[in-house]
Amino acid sequence: MQRRKRTVVALSGITAVGALIGALVVVAAVTTPASGATVAARGDPAGNAVSEWNLIAVNTLVNLPGPAGGAPPASQINMGLTQGAVYDAVNATEPKHHRPYLLKRRFSARASKEAAVATAAYRVLSSIVSTVPPTIAFPSRVSLLQALAAQYAASLATIPESPFKAQGIAAGNAAAETMIAAREGDGRFGPSQWVPNSAPGHWQPLINPATGQPILDPTPWVGGVKPFLMQSSSQFRTAGPLPLTSAAYAAEVNEVRALGSLNSALRTATQTYIALWWQSTPIAMWNQVGRELIARQGLDVADSARLLAMQNLAAADAHINCWNDKYYWDFWRPWQAVRRADEDGNPSTDPPDRTWTPLIATPPYPEHPSGHLCNDGAHTRVLLMFFGDAPEGGFDVTSGALNTGGPAMRHFESFSGTLAELIEARIWLGIHFRTADVQAERLGRSVAEYMAANYFQPVGRQ
């Protein structure tokens, strides 16, 4: 069936709440299928070995328990490890190759790239699962390792026995071993960076009513992890939250208060659907888009490996910088800002509402900047570098979120359109101020651009 072309109305600045709400309704109306409309499902495109093992990696990593690395920022770091090794394994067998990420060793150009991909991915994923500290509850560890071993055996079984298969396995092992060694002691599972502060403007965790204990970040160490690409984990420090006493801050608090509350009378059903729809694991969504475009554009194994490595390494560093920023700024969430509005020293914020609740449960870490938008900014910037802002035929995005009230798959025409919608969606959820979304997208984009300027260049380019 024909897909409807969608556009997104870009909003600039903060306007009066009434005018802003009217504009947001327009945004939602043009980005969501009309009632009863559906989008033709493409399914997950069949791809090359890089795409196949990318899907295995995503499914493996998002199924780790949160504290074991399954939380979104930690799983993105693990995807960086995996795809970086896959890229090095393939690149080491290319006659006209790009600069390696880590592996300097070269292998025969006739080596099996399929064996190299499967081996690199399997070895890194197995290491990630195996090295989760024993102090973290992980009942599915053995079953995940068994599943990986079975998938690896199945991949190798499709490759005829030959010296080239053995050379591919050797390339994959070398890439994996180099990556694993480079990430030894990189800060994963390190100490929390949070320093509690009860002053106005600082984040405080919610309390679990069943236990009376604070609900804390399952992976608060992400901001202390050694970067893959950047020179430091704070290289792209954001400008930070708006001052509590500023007129702009008051406008943003009042905006999210009006549109992001659980029972908002101003947020439309369409906006609610979009907000919940984007509450999905970003690494699953954007890697799926990468695989779809790889298949449709006919990218070969080498370019596929480079694309997915660039996506996931840039997004990993964006998350590292983002989490470093979160605990550096330690800014409160909207639920605190609204409930404690009488403490912000700003006469323009509305009176406090001690019962105000966001549309979804607020995440268990500081607000600024948005983790989702840091990730989205990095992934989409890399995809744009490869395919342009509006790839021919657009692209489908599938949400893994539950109970969104509409189709799981939606079609988009441009990456800039998805980002504009995402900025609004995090406000409609009631979990972010606009400044946190805008600065986060810029952070992710900056990491991707820094990577493109300094890594993955063709050999011989100055």
Say which range, 4-13, 137-146, 196-205, 422-431, has the weakest mean pLDDT. Answer: 4-13
What pLDDT score was predicted for residue 5? Answer: 30
Q: What is the DSSP letter of 361?
A: P
Is the pLDDT reported for residue 240 higher than 60? yes
CA dist 369 and 433 (Å) reads 9
Q: 41 or 386: whose pLDDT is higher?
A: 386
How many H helices and E strands in the chain?
14, 2
Q: 163 by DSSP, 3-state: which?
A: helix
Q: Which CATH architecture has domain 17-454?
A: Orthogonal Bundle (1.10)
**Cβ 6 vs Cβ 29: under 8 Å:** no
Residue spans of alpha helices (H) in 278-414: 282-297, 301-329, 334-339, 371-387
Across the range 125-152, mean pLDDT stands at 97
Q: For residue 130, what are its two tokens?
A: 């195996």
pTM over 0.85: yes
Nearest CA-CA partner of 300 in 94, 161, 84: 94
Q: Of 7-16, 253-262, 396-405, where does the model show the most confidence?
A: 253-262
Q: Which of 26-40, 114-128, 401-415, 417-431 has the lowest mean pLDDT?
A: 26-40
- Provide the token pair at 177: 């071993």
Name the residue among 437, 320, 455 with its Cα closest to residue 382.
455
Which of 242, 175, 218 has its CA nearest to residue 67? 218
Q: Which of 385, 369, 378, 384 is CA-nearest to residue 318?
A: 378
Phi, psi for residue 64 in degrees, rounded to 5? -70, 145
Q: CA–CA separation, 462 vs 459, rounded Å?
A: 9
pLDDT at 147 over 60: yes
Cis peptide before 241 (omega within 30 of 0): no
DSSP string, 392-418: TT-EEEE---S--SS-SEEEES-HHHH
Residue-wise pLDDT tens digits, 61-120: 999 999 999 999 999 999 999 999 999 999 999 998 899 999 999 999 999 999 999 999
Predicted confidence (pLDDT) per residue in 11-56, tens digit: 223 333 333 333 333 333 333 332 222 222 333 334 599 999 999 9
- The domains of the chain are located at 17-454
Angle at 316 (CA atoms; ends 129, 155), nearest 5 degrees: 45
Q: Would you say residue 290 has pLDDT above 80?
A: yes
Q: Supply the pLDDT for residue 96.
A: 83
Within 8 A by CB and 6+ apart from 263, the residues are: none
Give the span between the Cα atoms of 147 and 27, in whole angstroms.
Answer: 43
Measured CA to CA, the distance from residue 93 to residue 195 in angstroms comes to 48
Amino acid (one-letter) located at 270 = T
3-state secondary structure of 77: helix
**CA–CA separation, 139 and 452 (whole Å):** 40
Question: Does residue 462 register a pLDDT over 90?
Answer: no
- Check residue 2 and give its pLDDT: 30
What is the rounded CA–CA span in Å between residue 118 and residue 176?
Answer: 11
pLDDT value at position 97?
A: 86
Nearest alpha carbon to residue 292 among 419, 166, 387, 194: 387
Q: If residue 257 lies in a helix (H) or strand (E), which one and from where to where?
A: helix 247-259
**Does pLDDT of 1 surpass 90?**
no
Mean pLDDT over residues 129-156, rounded? 97
Query: What mean pLDDT comes out for the span 320-343?
Result: 98
